[in-house]
Amino acid sequence: MSKSETAERIVHVPLGERAYDILIGPGLIAKAGGEISTRIKGRRAAIVTDANVGALYLDGLMDSLQTDGIEAVSVTLPAGEKTKSFESLTEVCDVLLEARIERNDAVIALGGGVIGDLTGFAAGIVRRGVRFVQIPTSLLSQVDSSVGGKTGINTRHGKNLVGVFNQPDLVIADTDILNTLSEREFRAGYAEVAKYGLIDKPDFFEWLERNWQDVFAGGPARIEAIAQSCQAKADVVVADERENGRRALLNLGHTFGHALEAVTEYDSSRLVHGEGVSIGMVLAHRFSARLNLASPDLADRVERHLKAVGLPTRMSEIPGELAPTDALMAAIAQDKKVKGGKLTFILTRDLGQSFVADDVPVSEVHRFLEEMRVV
C-alpha cells in the first residue's frame, strides 16, 4: 500500500474548464472507484472494453466501482482496429442510452487506443457529452492516445477521419497492467516514449538511452518514463489544443510511419503503429540530414537507440514485399496533414530540436524513399 502510494505520479493537464488529471502508478484499477467517485458527480457508469482486456480486468474494475457506490454496466467489443467503426459507435451509444447514462455519469474506456478512441467519441456525442474516464491498458495508449482529446473512428476513406475533440475528465494509467503486454507491444509503445525526447526534450532522450532497460523491466523508471511522456504531450496539447500549429510536432515520424502502415494494409503481423513510427523517426532524422538540416551522426544515434530496444528502424526489416515507392508517396499524399497539396514534414535540426517544415518538395521525398527502401 505505502509502496504504491509513494510510486504514484499525477500529471495535471491544465486545459481551463477541461483540465484533468492523469494518475500513473501500480494497482490503480483497484482504486478506480474511489478516484472516479471523488471527481465525478453521477452514480452510474458504463464500461466499454474489448474481449482481451475485459477478460483480465473487467471484474476488478466492476468490483472497485461497486465498492464506491457506482452502479456500472459494461459492453465488451471485439479486439482490433475494425472496432473503430460506425457500427460499433452506434452500438456503444445504444448501450449508454439504454443504461440511462446522463451528463454527470461516467463512461469508462478500459482498453488500448482502439477502445479509447471509440469510447471517447461515444462519450462526446451521447447527450452531446457525458463524463469520460480513460483507463488505458497499453503503453501506447498510456503515453499517447489517452492525452490530447482526439477521439474517432475509421471509414473506408482512412483512419480517424470521423471523431470529436473530447478531453477526458480523468485518466487512470495502471502500470501493473503493462506486465501482461507482449514484448512487441511494449516496444511499439516505447517508440512514442522516445518520440517525446526527440521532439523537444533532449535530456529525456539521453535519460532513456541510459535507463531504457529499467523502463522495460518495470518499477520506478517505467512510471517516470510514462509521466514524462504524458507531461510532454500535455505541454504540446495545452499550447495547441485544436491542432493548428505546434501540435503537429507530435507527428514526428508519423508521416512516413502512417504511409508504411497504409501500404502494409494495417496488417499487424507485418507492422504495428509503433514500429512504423520507429522506422518513420529514423527516416525523419535521415531526411533532415539529407536536407543538410542535421548531422548524419544524429540519425545514427537515434537508430542505435531504437535498435537497442528491439524496434525495427529500416523499411527493409518489414516482413513481406514492400509496396513500390509510388504507393508510399500516394499514401503520404492521402494523409490528412496535407494542406493545399503541399507536403508537410516534421524535421529536426539537432537532438530534440524538431520543427514543422512546410513545402517539402515531393520529388526529394520520392528520391529519398527510393534510396532508403533498400538499405
Would you name the residues annotated as active-site residues? 128, 150, 192, 233, 243, 247, 251, 254, 258, 273
Least distance in Å: CB of 99 to a copy of itself?
Answer: 10
Q: How far apart are CA 265 and CA 149, in angstroms?
A: 26
Least distance in Å: CB of 94 to a copy of itself?
Answer: 7
Cell of 124: 462526446
CA dist 140 to 3, 272, 274, 316, Å?
25, 11, 8, 24
Least distance in Å: CB of 245 to a copy of itself?
Answer: 13
> Binding a copy of itself by CB under 8 A: which of 72, 126, 178, 232?
126
- Stretch binding a copy of itself (CB under 8 A), from 25-33, 125-133, 208-216, 225-233: 125-133
Instruction: Indicate whether 125 belongs to the interface with a copy of itself (CB under 8 A).
Output: yes
Nearer to a copy of itself, 165 or 355 (CB): 165
Least distance in Å: CB of 91 to a copy of itself?
Answer: 10
Site for a copy of itself (CB under 8 A): how many residues? 28
Q: Of 52, 35, 228, nearest to 134 (Cα)?
A: 35
C-beta of residue 166 within 8 angstroms of C-beta of residue 132: yes
Instruction: Indicate whether 165 belongs to the interface with a copy of itself (CB under 8 A).
Output: yes
> Binding a copy of itself by CB under 8 A: which of 7, 15, 30, 162?
162
Nearer to a copy of itself, 156 or 210 (CB): 156
Q: How far apart are CA 11 and CA 18, in angstroms?
A: 14
Is 101 annotated as contributing to ligand binding? Answer: no
Is 138 annotated as contributing to ligand binding? Answer: yes
Instruction: Indicate whether 156 belongs to the interface with a copy of itself (CB under 8 A).
Output: yes
Tell me the torsion sign for CA atoms 131, 137, 62, 87.
positive
C-beta of residue 171 within 8 angstroms of C-beta of residue 21: yes
C-beta of residue 109 within 8 angstroms of C-beta of residue 134: yes
Instruction: Indicate whether 238 belongs to the interface with a copy of itself (CB under 8 A).
Output: no
Cell of 194: 522516445
Cell of 178: 503493462
226, containing H or E segment: helix 220-239
Task: Using DSSP bridges, classify how beta strands 20-25 and 170-174 pair: parallel, antiparallel or unpaired.
Answer: parallel
Task: Pick out residues in 57-116 that bind a copy of itself (CB under 8 A).
Answer: 86, 89-90, 93-94, 97-98, 102
At residue 111, what is the residue type? G
Is 254 annotated as contributing to ligand binding? Answer: yes
Binding site for a copy of itself (CB under 8 A): 86, 89-90, 93-94, 97-98, 102, 121, 124-129, 150, 152, 155-158, 161-165, 336, 339
Binding site: which residues? 113-117, 137-138, 150, 159, 192, 254, 273
